[in-house]
Amino acid sequence: MKRLVQSLFILLSLAGFSAMAQNRTITGTVTAKDDGLPLPGVSVKIQNSTGGTTTGGDGKYALSIPSGEVTLAFSYLGYLTEVKTVGSSNVLNVVLSPDDRMLSEVVVTTFGIERKTKAIGYTASTLTNAQLAQKSEPDPLRALTGKVAGVNIIASNGVPGSATNITIRGNTSFLGNNKPLMVVDGIPFNNSSDQSGASTLVNNNAVSNRAVDLDPNNIESVVVIKSAAAAALYGSRAANGVILITTKTGKSGGNKKGFEVSLLSSYAFENVASLPDYQNKYGAGSEFNYSNANGSWGPAFNSPSIYPQGNGIAADGTIPHWYAGNAAFPQFPAGTRAPYQAYPNNVKDFFQTGSVFENQIQMSSGGEKGNFTVSASKSKNDGVIDFSDFVRSTLNVGGNMKLNDKLTVMGTLSYVNSKQDGLILGAQNGVGQASAFARTMYFARNWNLSDFSQMPYQNPVTLGQVFPVAGVDNPYWSIRNNTYKSDVNRVYGNVGASYDINSWLNLNYKIGLNQFSDTRIRTIRRGSVGASGIGEVTNDDIYNQEIESTFLATVTRQLTPDLGFKGILGHNVNQQTRKRQSVVGTNMVVFDIDDIDNTANVLPNGGIYTQRRLIGAFADVQLDYKSYLFLNLTGRNDWSSTLPKSNRSFFYWGANASFVFSELIRDKTPWLSYGKIRANWAKVGNDATPYQLIPTYTVNPVLGNNASNLTFPFLGVSAGTAGNQLSDPNLTPEFTTEREVGLELRFLNDRIGIDATYYDKKSTNQIAGITVAATSGFTSKLTNFGEMRNRGFELGLDLNPFKTSDGFSWNIYGVFSANRNKVVSLTEGLNEISVVPGFGDPAVVLRPGRPYGILVGSKTAKDSEGNVLINRVTGLMIKVPNMEIGDPNPKFIAGLTNTFSYKGISLGVVVDYRHGGDLYSGTVGQLLGRGVTTDTDDRLTPKIIKGFYGDPSPPFQPILDGNGNKIPNQVQTTTNDLYFNANGLSGQNDLLIFDASVFRLREISLGYMIPKKWIEKTPISSLNVSLTARNLYFYAPNFPKGTNFDPETSTYGAADTRNISGIEYTNAPSTRRFGLNLRATF
**For the chain, give me the number of helices (H) and strands (E)?**
8, 55
Cβ–Cβ under 8 Å, residues 797 and 753: yes
Q: What is the pLDDT of residue 908?
A: 95
Average model confidence (pLDDT) across the chain: 88
Q: Identify the structural domains of the chain with CATH numbers, from first to last.
A: 2-98 (2.60.40.1120), 142-269+353-693+729-853+888-917+1021-1075 (2.40.170.20)
Closest CA to 853 of 690, 1036, 1050: 1050
Provide the 10 A C-beta neighbour count for residue 748: 12
Q: What is the pLDDT of residue 707?
A: 53
Share of the chain above pLDDT 70, in %: 93
Closest CA to 129 of 214, 227, 41, 4: 214
Q: Assess whether pLDDT exceeds 70 at residue 430.
A: no
Closest CA to 387 of 269, 529, 484, 457: 484
Which helix (H) or strand (E) is 821 found in, with range?
Answer: strand 809-825
Q: Assess whether pLDDT exceeds 70 at residue 720.
A: yes
CA geometry: angle 138, 143, 147, nearest 5 deg: 175
Q: What is the pLDDT of residue 634?
A: 93
Q: What is the pLDDT of residue 708?
A: 58
Q: Average pLDDT for residues 32-51, to the nearest whole number?
A: 80
| Confidence at 429, pLDDT banded by 50, 70, 90 | low
- What digits encode the pLDDT tens for the residues 453-492? 999 999 999 999 999 999 899 999 999 999 999 999 999 9
Q: What is the pLDDT of residue 431?
A: 64
At residue 631, φ and ψ (nearest 5 deg) are -130, 130
Burial of 1025 (0-12, 13-18, 19+ CB in 10 A): middle
- What digits encode the pLDDT tens for the residues 1018-1038? 999 899 999 999 999 999 999
Q: Average pLDDT for residues 9-21, to the nearest whole number?
A: 35
Q: Which amino acid is at 623?
A: L
Q: Assess whether pLDDT exceeds 90 at residue 16.
A: no
Q: Average pLDDT for residues 527-542, to the nearest whole number?
A: 94
Q: Could you give the 3-state DSSP secondary structure of residue 725?
A: strand
Q: What is the pLDDT of residue 700?
A: 74
- What digits encode the pLDDT tens for the residues 55-107? 887 788 998 888 878 889 888 866 778 888 888 888 999 988 876 554 457 77
Q: Assess whether pLDDT exceeds 70 at residue 451.
A: yes
Q: What is the pLDDT of residue 425?
A: 84
Strands (DSSP E) found in 315-369: 318-320, 337-339, 354-367
Q: Assess whether pLDDT exceeds 60 at residue 19.
A: no
Q: What is the pLDDT of residue 1?
A: 38
| Confidence at 584, pLDDT banded by 50, 70, 90 | very high
| Confidence at 686, pLDDT banded by 50, 70, 90 | confident
| Confidence at 722, pLDDT banded by 50, 70, 90 | confident
Separation between Cα atoms, residue 769 and residue 175, nearest integer Å: 9
At residue 130, φ and ψ (nearest 5 deg) are -65, -25
Report the largest interatomic distance among the alpha carbons of the chain, rounded to a whole angstrom.
119
Q: What is the pLDDT of residue 10?
A: 37
- For residue 225, the Cα-to-chain-centroid distance in whole angstroms is 16
Q: Assess whether pLDDT exceeds 80 at residue 899.
A: yes
Q: Assess whether pLDDT exceeds 80 at residue 391.
A: yes
Q: Assess whether pLDDT exceeds 60 at residue 586.
A: yes
Where is mean pLDDT largest: 215-224, 684-693, 740-749?
740-749
How many residues are listed for the chain in this entry?
1082
- What digits encode the pLDDT tens for the residues 780-797? 888 999 999 999 999 999
Weakest-pLDDT range from 387-391, 602-606, 631-635: 602-606
Q: Average pLDDT for residues 598-613, to the nearest whole number?
A: 92
- What digits encode the pLDDT tens for the residues 332-381? 999 999 999 999 999 999 999 999 999 999 999 887 788 899 999 999 99
Where is mean pLDDT largest: 5-19, 688-702, 995-1009?
995-1009
Q: What is the pLDDT of residue 198?
A: 59
- What digits encode the pLDDT tens for the residues 831-868? 999 887 655 688 999 999 999 999 999 999 999 999 99
Q: What is the pLDDT of residue 77?
A: 67
Q: How far is CA 677 from CA 123, 223, 629, 659, in A?
A: 11, 20, 10, 5
Q: What is the pLDDT of residue 14?
A: 34
Q: Assess whether pLDDT exceeds 60 at residue 307.
A: no
Q: Average pLDDT for residues 290-307, to the nearest whole number?
A: 80
Q: What is the pLDDT of residue 4?
A: 37
Closest CA to 575 of 617, 519, 614: 614
Cβ–Cβ under 8 Å, residues 492 and 513: yes
Cβ–Cβ under 8 Å, residues 268 and 1074: yes
- What digits encode the pLDDT tens for the residues 152-179? 998 888 899 988 899 999 998 898 888 9
